[in-house]
Amino acid sequence: MKATITFDLQEDQHAFDCAVNGIKYFDLIDDIRQHLRSLEKYQDLTPEQYEIVGKIREWLHDELLNAGLADKF
């Protein structure tokens, strides 16, 4: 299966950049998720730091869920 997408770069530069760099964005989000998990699981955090990392992980998960992307990770 093949798909071809055509962009008018003068009007659709942002959409083109997102399409071309999508895997980079995906990988970055996954790296952030894994880093936060690693901090929470393996680092010696203060209770406040642990709470903050947990809140950030929860926020990121909620944002991915709301965007319909949570099942991609």
- Domain extents in the chain: 37-73
Mean pLDDT of 39-52: 96
- The end-to-end CA distance of the chain, in Å, is 24
- Kindly indicate the confidence band of residue 44, based on its pLDDT and cuts at 50, 70 and 90: very high
pLDDT for the residue numbered 7: 96
Name, in order, each residue with C-beta under 8 angstroms of 9's C-beta and a sequence gap of 6 or more.
16
Look up the pTM and report it: 0.80
The DSSP call for residue 13 is H
Closest CA to 56 of 25, 28, 33: 33
| 27-43 pLDDT per residue, tens | 999 999 999 999 999 99
* Helix 47-66 × helix 9-42 angle, to 10°: 140
